[in-house]
Amino acid sequence: MQHQFEHTDHEMIKIEVNLDDIPGEWLGHVMDLLFDAGANDVFYVPIYMKKNRPGTMLQVLCSESRSESIMNIIFQETTTLGVRYYPLSVKRLGRQFKEIQTPWGAVSVKEGLLNNKVVQQSPEYSQCKEIADKYGVPLQKVYQAVWTHLNG
């Protein structure tokens, strides 16, 4: 598993660009393409640009080895003429998974490890949603069942 052990990635790049005059529908498409190309994270921040024009800042975190293909997507799929990028280190927790039984079925829980101790726990959303849809129970109730078992 790629992130099984706690570590720091020193060969990461943060790419960012301010966008205006781009339809909102395009932004979702660009995000999908960037994730498909191997971006670790993609997000948008609403901003105001010169002359008080509303815009959107696109930020992408990726490995240095993927930065060229990521930038190519940004140039081809957005309205920008330039991007900013800079090296970045990322501290990552170790990760492990455990399976929790709910009244409706099993849910995987991702655990974040710091110094080999669990400090974060996150139920897998897609499994919780699938259970909620299948059994007609509120998603919140599925999460509560997982948390009750974890904190039991």
Q: How many residues does the chain have?
A: 152
Contact between 107 and 142 (Cβ < 8 Å)? yes
Query: Is the CB of residue 67 less than 8 Å from the CB of residue 15?
Result: yes
Mean pLDDT of 38-53: 94
Instruction: Give dist(CA 16, CA 8) in Å, integer.
Output: 22
CATH of 94-151 given 3.30.1360.200, 3.40.710.10, 1.10.490.10, 3.10.20.300: 3.10.20.300
pTM: 0.75
Positions of CATH 3.10.20.300 in the chain:
94-151
pLDDT band, residue 143 (cuts 50/70/90): very high
Query: Which CATH class name applies to 9-90?
Result: alpha beta
| Chain region(s) in the chain for CATH 3.30.70.1380 | 9-90
